Amino acid sequence: MLGIVLALISVGVVFVFSASVWWAQADRGDPYFYLRREVLYVLIGLTFMTLGWAVDYRRLAVYRKWIFGLAVFGMMATFMPGLRVELNNANRWIDIGMVTVQPIEFAKIAVIVYMASFFVRRQDRIQEFWRGLFPPLVVMGFMVAIAMRQPDFGGAMIMVAVTALLFVIAGASLVQMFALLAIATSFATVAVGWAGYRQDRLTAFLNPEADPLGSGYQLLQSLYAFGHGGLSGVGLGESVQKAFYLPESFSDFILAIVGEELGLIGTLVLLGLLALFFVRGMVIARYARDEFGYLLASGLTLLITVEGAINAAVVMGALPTKGLTFPFVSYGGSSLMMSCFLVGVLLNIYRQGELARRNRAVAGA
C-alpha cells in the first residue's frame, strides 16, 4: 500500500512540474512556483499520513459526531464572510491564514467514518427502511445539500456514490439497492437541470465539436493530448497541450498530460497503480480486526478509487466534466493532505489487524 501511494505521489510531483511550468512562469514569474507548493503539500501530507497511522482507527468511531460536526462547520464556513474564498463563482474554499483549504475533502472522510460506525451499530436493522436506510439518507442528504450550495456537484456525487457502495457492502437488500439507484439518478437529473452551466457541460460531453472554442474546448484539448501522445508518448516534458492550450493541465486534467508525454503505456501504468491501490485496500478491509475496520477501510478505499476512476473517465471523454482531481497526482493541497491521512488510517487498520492475528496465534499456541 505505502509503495503504491509513494509511486503515485512521485508521478504527481514530476507531472505537476511538467504541466505547470508554463503557467507558473506566466502567472507568477517563477517556473518553480507550483512545484515548490506541491512539494510542501507532499511533506504536510506525509505528516498527516503518519498521524493517521499512529492513532488507533477505532477512536474515529468514538469521536464520529465531533468529526462530522467539524466537517459540517468547515462546509458552512465556505459561506462565511472573512473565511470564504470565492473562485469561478464557487464558494468551495476557506482562508485560514497562510493556506486555503477545501473543506469537502475532509467532509468526504467524515461521512465515511460516520456511515461505517452507523452500519456497525445498526447491523441487525440494516435492511429496514426507517432504522436502516432512512438515517444515512438524511445525513448524506444534509452534507450533499451544503455541497450543492457551494456549488460542488463532483464532490456531492462522490459522497453519494461511496455511501451507496458502502451501504451495499454493509448488507443492503435488493430493494434498497434499487431505491438508492433511483435516488441517485433523480439527484443527478435535478442537479443537471437546476444549473445552466451543468447543462452546458452535458452538451459539451455529448457533442464537444458543436462549440470547440467554448464549452467543448477543454474536452477537445484533452482528447488532442491523448491523441498526440499515441502509444509511447512524445517524451517527458515535451507536451504541447500544457503550453496554455489545456486549462487545468496540472490539476483536474493532469492525466491528459501524462497521456501526451508517456502515451497509452504510461496512462495504463498510472491507472494500474490505482487498480493496485483498490485491490490492496480491499485486502486490508478483508482482514481488519473488526466490522468497523472492515467498513471503514472499504469506504476509504472506494473514495480514492471512485474519484480516480471518475477523473480518468472525464479526462477521456467518457463522463461530463466534474471538477474532480486524480488522487495523489493532481495539484491540490487539501486533496493530497486528506488522501495521505486516509492512507495512514488504512495502514493503521492493517497494523491493528496484524496485531490481532498475532495475539490470537500466541493465545492458541
pLDDT tens digits, 213-247: 777 888 899 999 999 999 999 999 899 998 878 88
The four Cα atoms 73, 43, 300, 4 give a dihedral, to 10 degrees, of 170
Which residue's C-alpha cell is 501524462? 258
pTM: 0.92
- CA dist., res. 349 & res. 289, Å (int): 8
- For residue 201, pLDDT over 70 is answered with no
Say how far residue 106 (Cα) sits from the centre of its chain.
Answer: 10
> What average pLDDT does range 342-351 have in this prediction?
96
Is 355 in contact with 63 (CB distance < 8 Å)? no
Q: Minimal CA–CA distance to 346: which of 46, 53, 6? A: 53
43-55 residue pLDDT tens? 999 999 999 999 9
The pLDDT value recorded for residue 43 is 96
Q: Which positions ≥6 away from 328 have C-beta within 8 Å? A: 5, 8, 9, 11, 12, 336, 339
- For residue 251, pLDDT over 70 is answered with yes
SS (H, E, C) the chain: CHHHHHHHHHHHHHHHHHHHHHHHHHHHCCCCHHHHHHHHHHHHHHHHHHHHHHCCCHHHHHCHHHHHHHHHHHHHHCCCCCCEEEECCEEEEEECCCCEECHHHHHHHHHHHHHHHHHHHCHHHCCCHHHHHHHHHHHHHHHHHHHHHCCCHHHHHHHHHHHHHHHHHHCCCHHHHHHHHHHHHHHHHHHHHHCHHHHHHHHHHHCHHHCCCCCCHHHHHHHHHHHHHCCCCCCCCCCCCCCCCCCCCCCCCHHHHHHHHHHHHHHHHHHHHHHHHHHHHHHHHHCCCCHHHHHHHHHHHHHHHHHHHHHHHHHCCCCCCCCCCCCCCCCCHHHHHHHHHHHHHHHHHHHHHHHHHHHHHHHHC
pLDDT tier at 194, thresholds 50, 70, 90: low
The pLDDT value recorded for residue 85 is 80
- For residue 171, pLDDT over 90 is answered with no
State how far the alpha carbon of 43 is from the alpha carbons of 78, 105, 282, in Å.
26, 18, 26
> What average pLDDT does range 105-109 have in this prediction?
94
Return the percentage of the chain with pLDDT > 70, whole number: 93
> What average pLDDT does range 136-147 have in this prediction?
87
Residue 208, preceding bond cis, omega within 30 degrees? no
Q: Which positions ≥6 away from 212 have C-beta within 8 Å? A: 220
- CA dist., res. 259 & res. 352, Å (int): 39
Looking at every residue in the chain, the average pLDDT score rounds to 88
